[in-house]
Structure formats: structure tokens, C-alpha cells
Structure 1
């Protein structure tokens, strides 16, 4: 799994002019699922996301997690995180999991994050044409990859 994690003061997802998820202070997580990803990848990444200390403490240091601040998460499915651009000018998404594999893991991640946080995770709609609005705080943007855990 790959994730792009953004610390935000607000974020929302709209599909066909209907808001499917909206948060205030917290994390916007763009999540890509690869064909060989497993529940173990989901659990590792979920734990990292809720415990990642990227929110400021009283001294202005990044010492608090989204869980510590009582923040929220907006989770968006993002197969394009697996784009391969080596050949030609049109990206290939062959490494992204097929929908029958990716959608259940995406939904399970939303449920798992909600359990870890103790509040409902806001979500986009898998496979939909989503419009994401956000106000990045910092900006703080972090990329994570469960296949490269030693660097994350």
C-alpha cells in the first residue's frame, strides 16, 4: 500500500455535487492498493497513520498524533499512486490492484482507522470521479509505502 498523508485544517470530498466526507483538523490520506497487499499491510499502515506525530505541541514541535489531538481522517482511494511513467508519456497503472481486491481493503482500512481513532473516518467513493478540497497545514505532506517499511 502507498499513502500520501497531508496534515490539514480542513478537507472534503465531493462526488456529483454531493459531499461524501468532510473533516476539520486532521489527516487527508490518499491510499493506493497494490495487487499483493494484505491485511498485514493495512494494519501496519493504519497504526502508523494514527500514531504519526506530525501535529504541534504547546512548544510548536511535531509531537502529537491525529489521535492525540482528537483529529479526523478523510480517506480517499487513489490508484494513481501506482503510476509507472518510465515508458512513453501515458502512465501505466498495472501495479494497482484490481477493484475486486482494492475496494475491500480500502473499506477495511476506513473501518480499522475508525476503530483506532475512536471516531468515524470520512471517506470518498471508491472508483468515483472525486473532487477533493483541502487546506494543507504547514504544509506537511508525507509519503508512505508498506513495501519499504525500513524507510518509513
Structure 2
């Protein structure tokens, strides 16, 4: 498993830098990619000062859904990419098939499955997919303002 995070001793400031920051987690052949991806995302959200809100929990659920879909329908997870700047958090999951996902039109009650992309659509501000080479990236974006809302009140500001 390959991770690109700030080096030990590097200063970590609350909130993403204005120029943006990108973190990648290689997941090819990794056991438990959903749990590893959630932990990776949780740490990034903490570093960026975007933890402890309802929307940060939503972001973790979006990561779980995208990674689960890649595992079940995309030939496995290749990597998770998180990109943050002052406007949004972008979550991208790359897998090994070029077949673009389609939201299930009518999941059946009482039968598991078919709800993942509906959840992603509901919790994110935008989502989509793009085929490239031998795979695809399925992405979702959450506005930064939603990730920090409520923080000022929690901090007594």
C-alpha cells in the first residue's frame, strides 16, 4: 500500500492550502480497501480541519460507497485520490473497468444492493465518472463550505 501524506515534521495547518492539496492511496491488491480508504480519508479530513461535522461523516460514507462499488463492480480498487482546496473536497476512486456506473432506477425493498450511487448522489454536491485507458475514475465533490459549517459554533466563535 502506497500513501502520499505530509512528511513527518512538516507543518500541518488547519484547512487545505489555497492552492489545494492532493493525497493518493494505492489500493491495488490491498485487503480491506474500504476500511483503509475510510481511515485514510478520516486522517486527511482531520489534517484539513474538516472533521467533526455531519458533512465529514457524509464524506466518509461517500468514500465507502465508491470503494465498495469499485470492489464489487469495477474489478477492484486501484486507488483513492482526495483533492482539497478552498472550494471543495473531491473524492475519486479508480478501478480496472471502463464500464461507467449507472444509478439503479428502482432498488427493491428488502433486497441489498442497488443504492450506492443514490447515496453518493444525495450526499455529494456533484458526482460523475470518466473512463480512461483500461479503467475509470468515479468521483464526487462536496463543497468546502459544507465541511466547515457548524465548526465556528462548536469552537465558540
TM-score > 0.5, shorter chain as reference? no
Flag the structure with higher helix content: 2
Flag the structure with higher strand content: 1
Q: Greater RCO between the two (CA within 8 Å, min separation 6)?
A: 1
Normalising by the residue count of structure 2, what TM-score does the alignment of the two structures yield?
0.28
Normalising by the residue count of structure 1, what TM-score does the alignment of the two structures yield?
0.28
